[in-house]
Structure 1
Amino acid sequence: MEQDDRSLADDLLGSDENERRKVVELRELVERHNPAAKEVDNATLRRFLRARDQDVKKASQFLSKHLEWRRSAVPNGFISEAEIKNELSQRKVFVQGFDKIGRPIGVVLNARHDPSRRNLAEFKRFVVYIIDTLCARAGEGQDKFTVIGDFKDWGFSNLDIRSYLAALDIFQNNYPERLGKAIIVHVPYLFLKTWKIIYPLIDKNTREKFVFLKDEDMTENLLEYIDESQLPEIFGGKLPLVPIEESSGMI
């Protein structure tokens, strides 16, 4: 392994002795079959372990599949704005602020999604771009993010089951232990019907991170998770929405 014992110990602060041992085992196992695993940090190994209930063999299979996917889906190591021009032009995803425990916040205005303009390959790249951007904004000691999904004015013209399933597949199979909270607001009846289709496909731990808020007490409930100074203006807070492509370098 390229890391010395001191850096390994530093990276694993905050995890128990058993988990530290299993992270070492996981690294050795995955690197044996995939040299690319040498670039994976210990925090990532820890997330994949936790997603497989500390089973080293299952975690190694999970991580190996992810590394293969990453090499194919993100060959340059990142998704550029030039690769997702159509998705960005719809101005439907924003990033700014942090919740009360320091998780970066993403906002998705789902009524701006236009399935008639959607190219599935580009949409998948856009999903990776969104998640990578949120992950990059997470500070030291924090590797999760919060998403506010706004369904105001969302209807049949926005319904896109194929895209939802593609996004779920990317997220669950490649970004374990990243979602902190998904807060869903302005929920129409149609989406509740759609949710019944998607819900069984979401793993149990992820399901528990979804919160649906009623319109009448939306701001009050949002303020339980997010300080007013960090909450977007459209939800009763003080921060303006910032398009995701303009969020680079924001504090």
Structure 2
Amino acid sequence: MLKEALKWRIEYKPEKIRWDDVAQEAETGKIYRANYFDKQGRTVLVMRPGFQNTNSVEGQIKYLVYCMENAIAKLDQTQDQMVWLIDFQKWNMACISVKVTRETARVLQDHYPERLGIAILYNPPKVFESFWLLVKPFLESKTYKKVKFVYSDHPPSMKVMESLFDMDKLESAFGGKSKDNFNYECYAKRMRDEELKQRSGGGGALLPPDRMSEVNETDLLVSDVSSEVSDGDSSYNCEIGSILEGIDEMQRLQLDCKGKMDNDVGELKK
């Protein structure tokens, strides 16, 4: 998985995606980063699948990746996971795209493993149960076990929200007390201001320098490679090949060590 994630990041260059590249996808607020954290200091991504506004699978996935990179960059220093708040307002079966669903699951599981702390499905309609049965085969068991169904008219499930969030900061759409709502112009300004601040702080990467030591090993390795290898460099493919070969060797050595340890344990038991 490390090898494939690294290869994808080198080729896709998610850290190079800028707000202006995806601004059109963001107009309806179908995905946005909340301006608060949960009680554990995790970034909160709000997702509203009923607010889909484009037909481009490529554009939708690029915006998802942008949001993931942005959320990771803003994680509290003690955290490496995030919370997804999925709002089913306006959602119906017409919103479903199997292709987008499959590609979304692939990108999140293959390239952002273990980034999800918990996903809250808020007020999903009854018809969603059929869609959930369709989606589950695309998900790893450890992923769908992090999914919680919450209903505003079911007090026991609402306790999940109270345990996770400061209700004074949580939007009223999720049962909180805040009257804040998504505003595209304000959000666009916020994203552009953050990008400007990050660039003026050194380098063009989305991830700020003070968080570099905290990202997972794939993110760190790719950031180092990306800063040294440009698209026009004739040695680019050789660099990628060397890195991937190194990962192959590292994984082989890990397997060899595990096999030796298993043999040693077997001998001791005898």
TM-score by length of 2: 0.63
Distance (whole Å) between structure 2 residues aligned to residue 164 and residue 207 of structure 1: 14
Once superposed, which parts of structure 1, at least 4 consecutive aligned residues long, lie more than 6 Å away?
A: none
Of residues 187, 211, 217 in structure 1, which corresponds to 2:148? 211
Distance (whole Å) between structure 2 residues aligned to residue 129 and residue 113 of structure 1: 16
The structure-2 alpha-carbon separation of the partners of 1:129 and 1:224, relative to structure 1 and needing over 3 Å to count, comes to same
Partner amino acid for 2:103? A
| Cα shift at 1:246 | 4.9
Q: Is the 8 A contact 1:110 1:151 kept in 2?
A: yes
Matching of residue 84 in structure 1 with residue 27 in structure 2: no
Determine the structure 1 residue equivalent to 2:171.
Answer: 232
Distance (whole Å) between structure 1 residues aligned to residue 82 and residue 190 of structure 2: 15
Determine the structure 2 residue equivalent to 1:73.
Answer: 12
The structure-2 alpha-carbon separation of the partners of 1:247 and 1:184, relative to structure 1 and needing over 3 Å to count, comes to farther
SS in 2 for 1:228: coil
| Cα shift at 1:94 | 2.4
Q: Is the 8 A contact 2:33 2:67 kept in 1?
A: no
Q: Is the 8 A contact 1:107 1:149 kept in 2?
A: yes
| Cα shift at 1:215 | 3.0
Distance (whole Å) between structure 2 residues aligned to residue 221 and residue 179 of structure 1: 16
| Cα shift at 1:74 | 1.9
Partner amino acid for 2:31? V
Q: Is the 8 A contact 2:122 2:174 kept in 1?
A: no
Q: Which structure 1 segments of 5+ residues have no match? A: 1-61
The structure-2 alpha-carbon separation of the partners of 1:246 and 1:211, relative to structure 1 and needing over 3 Å to count, comes to farther
Larger Rg: 2
Q: Is the 8 A contact 1:95 1:241 kept in 2?
A: no
Determine the structure 2 residue equivalent to 1:19.
Answer: none
Determine the structure 1 residue equivalent to 2:124.
Answer: 187
| Cα shift at 1:187 | 0.7
Determine the structure 1 residue equivalent to 2:79.
Answer: 142
Matching of residue 128 in structure 1 with residue 65 in structure 2: yes
Identity %: 24
| Cα shift at 1:245 | 4.3
Distance (whole Å) between structure 1 residues aligned to residue 108 and residue 68 of structure 2: 8
Q: Which moved more, 1:190-199 or 1:79-88?
A: 79-88
Of residues 162, 166, 171 in structure 1, which corresponds to 2:108? 171
Distance (whole Å) between structure 1 residues aligned to residue 132 and residue 175 of structure 2: 26
SS in 1 for 2:86: strand
SS in 2 for 1:215: coil
Distance (whole Å) between structure 1 residues aligned to residue 28 and residue 12 of structure 2: 22
Q: Which structure 2 segments of 5+ residues have no match? A: 195-270
Distance (whole Å) between structure 2 residues aligned to residue 202 and residue 152 of structure 1: 23
1:141-191 Cα distance to aligned partner (Å, 9 max, x none): 201100110112211331122111111110100111110010001111222
1:49-88 Cα distance to aligned partner (Å, 9 max, x none): xxxxxxxxxxxxx11211111122226x331122223311
Of residues 27, 34, 43 in structure 2, which corresponds to 1:104? 43
Q: Is the 8 A contact 1:83 1:122 kept in 2?
A: no
Q: Which moved more, 1:151-160 or 1:181-190?
A: 151-160
Q: Is the 8 A contact 1:98 1:230 kept in 2?
A: no
